[in-house]
Copies of this chain bind each other. A is one copy, B any other.
Amino acid sequence: MQFTIRQIASLIGAEIEGDDTQPIHMLAKIQDAKPGQISFLSNPKYENFIYDSKASAVIVSKNFEPKEKVPATLLRVEDPYNSFTILLEEYHKFISFQRSGIESPSFIGENSKTGDRIYRGAFSYIGKNVTIGNDVKIYPNCFIGDNVTIGDSTILHSGVKIYDGTRIGQFCVIHAGCVIGSDGFGFAPQEDGSYRTIPQMGHVIVGNHVDIGANTVIDCATMHGDATRIGNGVKLDNLIQIAHNVEIGDHTVIAAQTGISGSTKIGKGSTIAGQVGIAGHLVFGDKTRMAAKSGLIKSYPDGNIDLMGAPAMPIKDYLRAYAVFRKLPDLNARLKELEEKVVNLPTFDKRS
């Protein structure tokens, strides 16, 4: 990457204060930046770094008033953090565009079509009747089953496995080792104590702008025609389990190692922390927030609520109960003392 400060200012719509001709080839934190790098100042507690920073340019707020002379060129914007994020994205695109073409050997089945500017890494496998959009990057050792659809500009990192019939939208990033479309966990108990596996014939539909973390698993729906659905803009962390027929609303964020059981629905804009477990067939409304390690066994369909505990309850109730839990030995002692006091009190016959 090599841009001038002027080019970058134009990209993020910044006002320039200082020399705008120097080249920028990297982004860095303000305390680490070197000449040729650009940084940003958003949190006031890092302000001191700006006066010594070796960065060639620093993105700052429109209202920033330096207390001393700043050696770097200043780029003034509304929201420095957001502007820096835009640059990070540009940088990332630039890096990822370095991968293109078809490495050999790779495999593609009958009647499968791929778009323009695609990357197909060595040892990647594309089944039959697959449709893949433009600018898609398929890293080495990926497996894409039959009848899969993948939208434009989606990236599949190495070793991703996509079962037959899965549909993935545009601008998604699927991290290494993810499995999408594996069989749901369904078994019919038999009279002899054994189980008959219920074949899972549905599929998975992943929206646009979805990120899925490494080694996360999303099972397919049970019945033909049904789908496990991941809404637009959903962000899933690593090692998450999404069971069959689950539906996750748009722009919901879920942290690592959380598991959601079959047929549960999560509303839009929800936030689920790490290692949460959610039972099956529940419904949670929009903007539901679950604290780490919560265990959900009942629905909260109205949404806009903070939940915690296992079994979970509203977070305030949990924290108040847990505060007393910590003092239980003391509480027990107080109760005992009281019991003794009361026993030692004289008894009166009320009738007397």
Contact = CB atoms under 8 A, between A and B. Distances in A.
Contact of A274 (B141, B157, B259, B313): B259
Given A107-B103, A140-B143, A331-B335, A29 B226 contact: yes
A251 B342 CA distance: 56
A332 B327 CA distance: 10
A23 interface: no
A199 interface: yes
B214 A214 contact: no
A187 B238 contact: no
A256 B259 contact: yes
Contacts of A345: 342, 345, 348
Nearest to A243: B256
A219 B185 CA distance: 22
Nearest to A177: B179
Interface residues of A, number: 111
Contacts of A323: 329
**A125, A238, A313 — which one has the most chain B CB atoms within 10 A of its CB?**
A238
A97 interface: no
Nearest to A313: B326
Contacts of A235: 185, 187, 195, 197
A183 interface: yes
Interface string A122-164: 1101000000000000011101010000000000011101010
Interface of A: 26-29, 32, 81-82, 85-86, 88-89, 91-92, 103, 105, 107, 121-123, 125, 139-141, 143, 145, 157-159, 161, 163, 173, 175-177, 179, 182-183, 185, 187-188, 193-199, 201, 209, 211, 213-215, 217, 219, 223-226, 233, 235, 237-239, 241, 243, 250-251, 253, 255-257, 259, 261, 268-269, 274-275, 277, 279, 292-293, 295, 297, 310-311, 313, 317, 320-329, 331-332, 334-335, 338-339, 341-342, 344-346, 348, 350
- Pick the 10 closest A-B CB pairs, nearest first: A92-B199, A143-B158, A324-B328, A161-B176, A179-B214, A182-B214, A125-B140, A241-B256, A107-B122, A88-B199
23 contacts: A29-B225, A82-B196, A85-B188, A105-B105, A105-B122, A123-B123, A141-B143, A161-B214, A185-B213, A187-B211, A194-B209, A213-B217, A214-B217, A214-B219, A292-B297, A320-B329, A324-B328, A324-B331, A334-B339, A338-B339, A342-B345, A345-B345, A345-B348
